A and B are shown apart, each in its own frame.
Chain A
């Protein structure tokens, strides 16, 4: 199933189960199956989009890749090394190459640290002194992300949401990583700022040859950033394809429904599109449906869907996990 040669990141059978509440005195402990057997690869220099709605496991996957969480099962291989169960100290040199950008620009920056401190911390932790000194380098990075280097001594609360997100990006870029996992980097920003940050990230990708795993729930945003897209539902990947193929000819019913639900800013486009309305809500990840997890909301569901979980198979240019792909 290797669709990528020499992937910089490879994830096989990645699984993460969280313990939930206990049922009664001696009852079984609930298990939240947040991520269940996820496989994908990312080539160097590409941007892989990871999309899905709440509870699909995309954020958890992002944290597993960067080892903020440890997998319950499966492997995460970065640059040929299996980092699945590396300790914190083993991860430290890896982290110079593997960074993360977070969603909430208000919560992810320490309000007691100046911008300068925030962006220079990666250097201090890894005891790296770049040429010309840390401060000089930090100011360079601030400029690269579109911030004023004179603001080195300002605090996060003095900046707007978009600027704070730039600070977060600067911090992630500090040690010139190879791979950045961006977890909903623009969801918390105003609409008129989102484009700025998307453009910035695209430029950085080009200029520094970065690889991205771009996690988002907004399909339109992902379309403007990713080259390949993976769709997740309730802990599984249901479809992976290159961007154009996925958006033009989605093969999984969930992908189709997801695309049809995205509202378009053009009243005439509404009549033109096929509307698929999913009924009900996303099932509980503690008790996911047997077989194919999407079957409870799928209009194509048949008996086999309840008994046999579909495997992620290659059909044309797409990998899809469905017994009745489009």
Chain B
């Protein structure tokens, strides 16, 4: 076989931009690089010298899709530093706002970004001509997630109502009540979505991943838990940096996160699902089984089903929280600065998001570290591409490129969190 080159200059339908370079010589993949042109860690630098109370609002600006994740990891890290525990209804409200963000983010990715790959459309605009009802469903689902975030977060983008210790204002029961019917519709729509994506054709592709996610004693994880893996990892969040570190890759200005002595690991919906299937609500479990998804799944292309299942769960969980809600007396617990260091890790829609801060006795941030999920998945994306291309060299150039892009989108990479700009280059020499 002669050497080949496949070039795709722009990878669409991922959040942000970057570049992927796959080099094929004969029948062998010789090189795979995920090149991300990350600007200097602007936000980490920007946080230095600011007050600890500003961290949730500043970091919420990093990503327009998952501001709540940034706020949650920030507040948990600060509360860890200050020895504060937020529980009861305030804790429940944090889960509720996270439900809104998962619904929004998953609806967008499942329908607008990933489904066109499976249905053979260039994009959601083309897909909408043949599937207008499904696209309308996506828009409505996303809107409901948005309404939840807006109600609790104060506004839809860059929410401002989240603070260290709780919220600035908490909703009344009456304010939450109108959401119930909306969420019931959303839950039905999510079940329907799971049924639809379960009928898609999935490339045969499975790998022996190390999945890493939070695990909580009795909840599907959002804000709290231990960091666990299917290969024996079981650590408190505080030990994150003893087990994971970031490597600078010469071809990319971003940092790749790896596990010490073990290499790449997989974070996100598929990891959460494999490690926490037993913590899903019965309805979400049932939706998964009906769509043909076993409690364990190692095919990353099926992450689209998992996102749909998690959407069912998020609607279910939101309804449970609203049903049990009693307005707390105070919107937040008191926090007082002290010289300290704290860590937080929460489950963003795309996977674990780690924050660590050091503050002085007046509450000024001395340094910050933020590890977004996409930075943690980069090595896995590269190794997926290496294996996928190796096994599919007989595909036409067009089909191979299409499926490589699809393989990247399995991870819903939010390049804008870890960088700004994604181009895909599959080069066959």
Task: Decide if A and B are genuine partners.
Answer: no
